[in-house]
């Protein structure tokens, strides 16, 4: 096999190049920073323009003269997946799907691809499973297999050669950590291999207008060489969320050049594969027989859809000198900040208490609208006094103790009302102009008012 391209080792700290791998960069002295990369082909300097030679046909244009062709969107046949993609799969787009091993990436893609194959030639390339395994799974899921083609291969060059002949409209590569390119000598799964293999695949997708799905494993810490380094190369990044113990699987758009970010698709893993959950609000509410202290319903908004989730807090006398603050599904620093606000502006100090916080169902809430519900659930647990069962709430809390408005207040209010909540505590600036039938709206300006509203 002839080597068309040369490889060099580049220090990721200072950018110095070395012909061979070494433990330490000779330039900056950093340890373990040399990574194999394909050397850029040398441009022959012709002396003009400071050595920038070569006319490859690129030209500068006026923006208004550039007419975008209509981007074609192909429905995947799974509405929840279409939702996170921003309304269907865009032709020629590259989508990265990340998540823990075993969370359901292959299942989701084989399901979507079997449906897509009815409209467009589709090819599923697996570096992990044999064709028999894939067929077995598709059969068990009851998927039509007549039009779906599979390939088990791990060399990117060979895959691309086959794909160029086969011309699939949709191409799935499962998973990027298993593929390698001949251009590099590093082992599959190393940062250099993952990046270079992906770059070749992305180039192919853009040149041929093929829609490409790349699968990538991430560990809990997101540390594994892989998906993280690809995020900037692709159009859309989707990540699986949710606890592996729960049957629910959330797919979130972290980046999307063709739609809203933070959009959430909700699935349930069953014996027939991933089922779509059309009304996700209902599943995250654990309806208690009896109201319990420390539970508060939050109206959050994920992407373009409001969602009701339950926040639970447990406040308990701490045996430690430094009491613990543990937040699952929410930001830990935010919790510390809110506890400080609660003390300073609400008059409730929790210095000698451990505070645990959890969002039910493995959802991750990143928006500040969770502030007020967090404080109310903490307070409820601390006082051991349950909140009313028909209460829902949302609102950002500022450092001065003020309750700030959040986007799309009306929509959140309507979602709460739709699910039968009769009492809603919200920021004053989010209060509706007209009275709402059957809902007691409590608009608050300051943290003290919210606490008083519960008394």
Write out the residues near Mg ion by the rule CB under 5 A: 106
CB of 218 to Mg ion, least distance (A): 13
CA angle 441, 445, 446 (to 5 degrees): 120
d(CA 399, CA 440) in angstroms, rounded, equals 27
Question: 366, exposed or middle or buried, with CB in 10 Å at 0-12, 13-18, 19+?
Answer: middle
Considering beta carbons, is residue 86 or 216 the nearer one to Mg ion? Answer: 216
Q: Which does 208 bind (CB under 5 to 8 A by kind): ligand TYD, Mg ion, none?
A: none
Considering beta carbons, is residue 267 or 421 the nearer one to ligand TYD? 267
The distance of closest approach from Cβ of residue 179 to ligand TYD in the complex, given in angstroms and rounded to an integer, is: 15
DSSP 128: S
> To the nearest whole angstrom, how small is the minimum distance from the Cβ of residue 135 to ligand TYD?
13
Integer CA distances (angstroms), 95 to 82, 92, 155, 170, in order: 12, 10, 20, 11
Query: In whole angstroms, what is the distance from residue 36 CA to residue 361 CA?
Result: 42
Minimum CB separation from ligand TYD for residue 218, in Å?
10
CA distance 54 to 391: 68
Stretch that binds ligand TYD, among 4-12, 105-113, 413-421, 443-451 (CB under 6 A): 105-113
104 lines the binding site for ligand TYD (CB under 6 A): yes
Report if residue 103 touches ligand TYD, rule: CB under 6 A. Answer: yes
Q: Which two tokens stand for residue 172?
A: 């799935």
Q: How far apart are CA 403 and CA 406, in angstroms?
A: 9
What span, in angstroms and rounded, lies between the C-alpha atoms of 190 and 360? 36
For residues 109-138, which are near ligand TYD according to CB under 6 A? 137
For residue 167 the two structure tokens come to 């011309």
Q: What residue 329 binds from Mg ion, ligand TYD, none (CB within 5 to 8 A, per partner kind)?
A: none
For residue 77, the Cα-to-chain-centroid distance in whole angstroms is 21
Among 216, 227, 273, 303, interactor with ligand TYD by CB under 6 A: 273
- Our CB check for ligand TYD shows the closer of 214 and 443 to be 214
Does 271 contact ligand TYD by CB under 6 A?
Answer: yes
* Binder of residue 262, out of ligand TYD, Mg ion, none (CB less than 5 to 8 A by kind): none
Out of 96, 112, 176, 269, point to the residue binding ligand TYD (CB under 6 A): 269
* Alpha-carbon torsion angle 64, 66, 67, 72, nearest 10: -130
Q: Which residues bind ligand TYD (CB under 6 A)?
A: 99, 101-107, 137, 141, 269, 271-273
């Amino acid at each position: 096999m002839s080597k068309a391209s040369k490889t060099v080792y580049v220090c990721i700290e200072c950018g110095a190049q070395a012909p061979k791998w070494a433990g330490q960069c000779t330039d900056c002295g950093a340890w373990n920073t040399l990574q194999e990369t394909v050397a850029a082909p040398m441009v022959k300097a012709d002396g003009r323009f400071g050595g920038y030679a070569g006319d490859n046909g690129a030209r500068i244009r006026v923006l208004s003269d550039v007419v975008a062709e209509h981007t074609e969107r192909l429905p995947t046949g799974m509405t929840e997946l279409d939702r996170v993609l921003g309304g269907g799969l865009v032709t020629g787009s590259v989508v990265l799907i990340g998540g823990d091993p075993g969370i359901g990436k292959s299942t989701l893609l084989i399901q979507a691809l079997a449906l897509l194959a009815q409209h467009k030639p589709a090819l599923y390339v697996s570096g992990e499973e044999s064709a028999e395994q894939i067929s077995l799974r598709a059969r068990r899921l009851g998927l039509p297999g007549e039009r779906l083609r599979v390939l088990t291969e791990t060399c990117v060059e060979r895959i691309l050669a086959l794909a160029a002949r086969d011309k699939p409209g949709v191409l799935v590569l499962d998973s990027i950590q298993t593929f390698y390119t001949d251009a590099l000598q590093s082992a599959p799964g190393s940062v250099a291999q993952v990046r270079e293999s992906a770059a070749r695949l992305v180039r192919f997708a853009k040149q041929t207008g093929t829609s490409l799905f790349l699968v990538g494993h991430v560990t809990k810490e997101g540390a594994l060489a892989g998906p993280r380094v690809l995020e900037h190369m692709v159009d859309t990044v989707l990540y699986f969320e949710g606890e592996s113990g729960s049957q629910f699987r959330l797919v979130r758009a972290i980046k999307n050049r063709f739609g809203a970010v933070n959009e959430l698709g909700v699935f349930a893993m069953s014996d027939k594969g991933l089922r779509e959950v059309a009304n996700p609000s209902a599943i995250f509410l654990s309806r208690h027989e009896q109201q319990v202290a420390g539970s508060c319903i939050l109206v959050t908004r994920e992407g373009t859809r409001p969602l009701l989730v339950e926040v639970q807090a447990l406040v308990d006398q701490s045996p430690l000198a430094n009491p613990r603050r543990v937040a699952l599904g929410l930001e830990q620093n935010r919790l510390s900040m809110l506890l400080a606000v609660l003390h300073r502006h609400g008059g409730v100090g929790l210095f000698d208490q451990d505070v645990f916080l959890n969002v039910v169902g493995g959802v991750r809430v990143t928006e500040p609208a969770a502030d007020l519900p967090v404080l109310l659930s903490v307070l409820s647990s601390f006082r051991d006094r349950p909140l009313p069962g028909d209460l829902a709430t949302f609102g950002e809390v500022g450092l001065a103790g003020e309750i700030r408005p959040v986007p799309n207040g009306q929509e959140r209010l309507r979602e709460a009302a739709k699910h039968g909540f009769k009492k809603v505590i919200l920021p004053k600036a989010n209060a509706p102009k007209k009275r709402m039938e059957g809902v007691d709206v409590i608009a608050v300006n300051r943290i003290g008012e919210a606490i008083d509203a519960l008394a």
